[in-house]
Every structure is written in structure tokens, then in C-alpha cells.
Structure 1
Amino acid sequence: MAKRLGSTTYSRNLKRFSSHARYFIKKLGCEQNEQLNFILVHDDKNKNTKYSSTSKHPAMTLHKPLSLLESHTPQFTLFTKRNKRIHVLSQNKKGYAVFMEINYRESKTSDFKKIRAQFIDVDLNKISVHLDTKEQVKQMIETIQSDPAEQLQSITVKKNKKGQYHLLALRKKQRVAKLKNAFIKKFKTHIKDTMIVETKNGYHIYWVIQGGSVSKFVPIQKALAKKFSSDPMITNLSRVMRIPGFYHMKNPRSPFMVRVKQLGRKKPFSQAEIIQSLALKPFN
């Protein structure tokens, strides 16, 4: 039976994982006086592709210093630019995903001062390919459908403004679960000391950094994405990521609690250690 808002399972998970957001933020090395920047974006992207102030579900840009942040997610409140208080869990129940800017800057318009982590987004829910011809699309669909291991819920093809075809195949949750296990097994030695956040469709993996160079952040992000075949778009300094302790609400009938699966080692990484230990290219 699908889990519903207000159900025993929903409430039990909230209690069980209520401290995970705080664990996550502290693990990133955030200091008490540092301003934390958040954004709430509605998970129903199919109905709301733009998040302007006039849309049905506008995005909310929020902030709060760590020193004032509550310990458990049911009590989390954040502030708007006009210092209006927003109760985060109430918005999460309405379908809003909770994201945080990982790297540190004093304000949304200032330069970044600190790299808190290098990280990747492993999304195992989809097969996304850009192709040039209809024949290539046909061949790709045949290849995917002929794989006995694949379990798909949908395949869509759209033509973009450049004339390319974007093929998007979404996997069933049973297949995603198997791929999650396979990923952890395959890269066990590479990620044994990292912080791992489990999402509905995969993992966010963090190499927490101390004394990192802002100029090296993007090249290392690109190299990590190639190494782990993860989302190649996760490279910008201002990247926001889902924080644990809140629900993934794309399917309100079956919410998934984002959680810390592994906190990782106590000692932060250096960027040089990441490059060397993972033999990242083009660095090595």
C-alpha cells in the first residue's frame, strides 16, 4: 500500500530521520556564524516548469545562520529576504523539495569564500540520451527494450531547438533499487570514507573538504562526474542539493525520506587527496 501523508509510516520516518539535516550540515563543516542559503522548489515539475513569483508553486529563496537553526526538521524555520518566517516541513508536505547551497558565500550576490565539499549526484532512475537522427532513436529504443534486466515505466522522445532528439527512459523502482545496490558494491572502495545521502533515485556523495581552492572546484566536479558516470551538470559553485531529513515528494502517494546513509570519516579530504586517490583525469 502506498504511504500517505499523515500515515504512521510517514510520521515514524520523520521522527527517525529528524536529526539528519543537522548531521548533514555540521558534517559539511558549516560554522555557527555562517549564513546558510536554501531554496524550496516544488517537486511537481511536470506541471510547473517555471518558478516565477506568479507561478502556482513559486520557488522560495530562504536563509538562516547555523547558530539559529533548529536541531530537528519538524521544527525547522527559515527566513525570506524580508525576514518572513517559513515553516519548512509544512512546505515539504505541500510538495516542496528542500535544497541547500553547499559551498559558502556571505550572501547570494557575493563571491564564494569556502568549498565545503566536492560531490556527485548519482541518478539511477533514468536513461537520458541525445541523438541526431530518428534511426538512432529507433536503435536506442530497441537496445534498451532488448535488455532483459531493464524494467521501464516509460520512454519519451522530444526534439529540441537544435534538431536533436532527447530520449528519456524512466525505470521502475524495483530496477532502481537493484542499481543502487550495484553502485555501492562497484564503488565500495572509492566511497568508503565519504558522506553518502540516499535519495529516491540514487545517491548524493560528498567528499567533505578543508582548505579547498575555489578555482579547482569545477575541474574536480567534472572529473568526478566522468569517474562515476554521474550527473554532468553538477559542476557549478552555486549548486544546491537536496538535504536529508525531508521527503522527496514527486509522487505524493509514495513520499521518500531523503537520509544520510553514511557519515564518512571524521578527517576532511583535501582536493589533492581526492585527485590522487581516485586517479582523476585530466589531473593524472
Structure 2
Amino acid sequence: MEQRVTLHAKSMRLRSRQFRQFIKKLGCKGRQTLHFTLVHDTMARKPIHPTSQSKARAMTLHKPMEQLERRLSRITLLTRTKQPVPVLRKNEEGYAVFMTVNYREQARGDFQAVRAHFIDVDLNKISELLPTSEEAERRVQELQADSVEQIESVTVTRTKQGRYRLLAVRGKRRVGQLKRKFLAKHAKLIRGSMVVETKNGYHIYWAIRQGSITRFVAIQQALVRKFNSDPKITDLSRVMRVPGFYHRKNPASPYLVHVKRWGRKRSFTQAELIQRLGLTL
């Protein structure tokens, strides 16, 4: 029992350090307000008639960095009406913890600084758009018969344009293989970046100093093309999962989001990043 308590305390200290060092690595400063979004990982949608007992699917929270408690177990974030919300408890209840990467003081205000460029590499899904139901069915059969891909589930939905969206989900072992391949393939390109490991892949950050807000989207789009990463990760207001908290889409198999590599100490300039990665804007 005593050993279990000791291990838990050690784990909480590590998670607390990961969280605080992550936000510092992004260049967050003492008086700046940090903005967070908590989204329930397993709820399909917000209750139609929320009650005091029902759970909201998402909540927006904030707090100045200098007021953040040092221990993860004690951190509370504030609602718009200044009500404190214990973040660790919410994570244990199934809420994922996301943070707005770039800086703006007000939740709906203009952005004032680029803190980082970043990508989301999701390796557990295969998404394809097919012209006919016959081709979609044929592709489903191919994937299900493919022992290499280790497909766990496949769904096909018809789009408004009459095409067919196929979404296949890979198994845990295959995702692990693809994670290792990704790091090996892009080792030179991601050298010096901060690598956050998620359940299904990686979030990769290049901390930026004196970045141009007007160039942000173009550089993000170039990164998507370079790494074939999630094409939605291009806007200034993008939120990303925070290290130190669990991914709980599968409650039976929670995954602790964590920093795998901290990267170099000195942040990048946008010009350096473009040249270093050979980005075409």
C-alpha cells in the first residue's frame, strides 16, 4: 500500500512538471492569460436539456499563468463567471484538457503573438473519399483482409455531394509501429522540435520567437503538406491536448499524453523554420 502511494506521488510530480514545462516551452509569460477548453472524450453531444446533474460536453476556462498552482492536483481554472473548476478531477471524469497554443489575452479577442508552429500526426485512422458505394465496399473488404494494417473497425458514410467517406481505425500495435516509423523517417526534420506523444500519434511543436501572425496560416499549411498531418491544424485559434492529462476516449484504456522530447532550448524564427524544413508557402 505504501509503495503504491509513493508511486502515485511520483507520477503526479512528473505530470505536474510536464504540464508546467510545456507551457513555459511555448513561451507563455507570467501575466498572460492562458485559455483552456475541456471536452468530454466520450460524450457524443451536449445534453439537449442540461440540468445541474448533467455534464456539459465542453467548457472554456482560463487563468493567468502566474496564478497557476504548481501541483497538478491543485490546479483550478476559471469559468467566465470566475467559478473555479478543478482540472484534474474533470480529467478523471472523462474530460480531455486542451489549450489555445497562440496568445491572446481575451478568449474572443485578437491574437497578439505566435507562440509556436505545430502539427498533429494522427496514425490510427485511414480516411478515404470514394465515388461509388461499390468502390467503398470493395475498399472495406481490402482493408479488413489486410493483416498489416490491423483494422479494428470501418465505417462508410455518404456525403452531401453523393460520395462515400470511408474511415478505418487501426489497432494499437499497428499504431505503435507507425509511430516508430514516423520518428525514424522524419528524424532530421523534427530535430530540435518538442514532441508530445498522444495515444494515436504525435503533436510536434516548433516554439517561435517574434513570429508574424499574418504568416502563421501559410506556414501551418506548408507543414501539413510536408508531414501529411491533420489538415485542420492551420488556424491561429487551434487548441491542442495538454501533456500531463489523460486521453480517455476509451475509458478502459486511458493514455497519458506526455512530452517525449523537449527539443532545443532556443526557439525558432519563422524564417529559420521555413529554410530548415524546406517549406514551400
TM-score of the two chains, using structure 1 as the length reference: 0.91
Give the match for residue 148 of structure 1: 147
Unpaired runs of 5+ residues, structure 2, are: none
Give the match for residue 36 of structure 2: 38
Superposed displacement of residue 144, structure 1: 2.7
Instruction: In structure 2, give the amino acid aligned to 1:129.
Output: E
Superposed displacement of residue 12, structure 1: 5.9
Deviations, residues 199-226 of structure 1 (Å, cap 9, x unaligned): 0100000010000000111011111011
Tell me the distance in 2 between the aligned counterparts of 1:217 and 1:141. 38
SS in 1 for 2:157: strand
How many residue pairs were aligned?
275
Query: Residue 39 and residue 209 in structure 1: after superposition, are their counterparts in 2 closer, same or farther (change >3 A)?
Result: same
1:162 lines up with 2:158 in the alignment: no
Instruction: In structure 2, give the amino acid aligned to 1:262.
Output: R
Of the structure 1 ranges 159-168 and 96-105, higher mean CA displacement relative to structure 2 is found in 159-168
Query: Residue 110 and residue 14 in structure 1: after superposition, are their counterparts in 2 closer, same or farther (change >3 A)?
Result: same
Give the match for residue 112 of structure 1: 111
Alignment of 1:117-132 (within 5 A): 117-132=116-131
SS in 1 for 2:63: strand
Query: Residue 98 and residue 131 in structure 1: after superposition, are their counterparts in 2 closer, same or farther (change >3 A)?
Result: same
Is the 1:52–1:58 contact (alpha carbons within 8 Å) kept by the matching residues of 2?
no
Instruction: In structure 2, give the amino acid aligned to 1:248.
Output: H
Q: Percent identity among equivalent residues?
A: 51
Query: Residue 167 and residue 8 in structure 1: after superposition, are their counterparts in 2 closer, same or farther (change >3 A)?
Result: farther
Deviations, residues 169-197 of structure 1 (Å, cap 9, x unaligned): 00111111111111111101111100011
SS in 1 for 2:188: helix
Give the match for residue 193 of structure 1: 192
Tell me the distance in 2 between the aligned counterparts of 1:182 and 1:239. 27
Tell me the distance in 2 between the aligned counterparts of 1:11 and 1:173. 28
1:65 lines up with 2:64 in the alignment: yes
Give the match for residue 215 of structure 2: 216
Tell me the distance in 2 between the aligned counterparts of 1:19 and 1:216. 32
Query: Residue 173 and residue 84 in structure 1: after superposition, are their counterparts in 2 closer, same or farther (change >3 A)?
Result: same
Superposed displacement of residue 238, structure 1: 0.3
1:48 lines up with 2:36 in the alignment: no
Instruction: In structure 2, give the amino acid aligned to 1:190.
Output: L
Alignment of 1:1-284 (within 5 A): 13-44=11-42, 47-50=43-46, 54=50, 56-281=55-280, 283=281
Unpaired runs of 5+ residues, structure 1, are: 1-5
Higher relative contact order (CA 8 A, sep 6+): 1
Tell me the distance in 2 between the aligned counterparts of 1:130 and 1:159. 10
Is the 1:13–1:257 contact (alpha carbons within 8 Å) kept by the matching residues of 2?
no
Query: Residue 53 and residue 121 in structure 1: after superposition, are their counterparts in 2 closer, same or farther (change >3 A)?
Result: farther
Is the 2:143–2:151 contact (alpha carbons within 8 Å) kept by the matching residues of 1?
no
Tell me the distance in 2 between the aligned counterparts of 1:270 and 1:146. 47
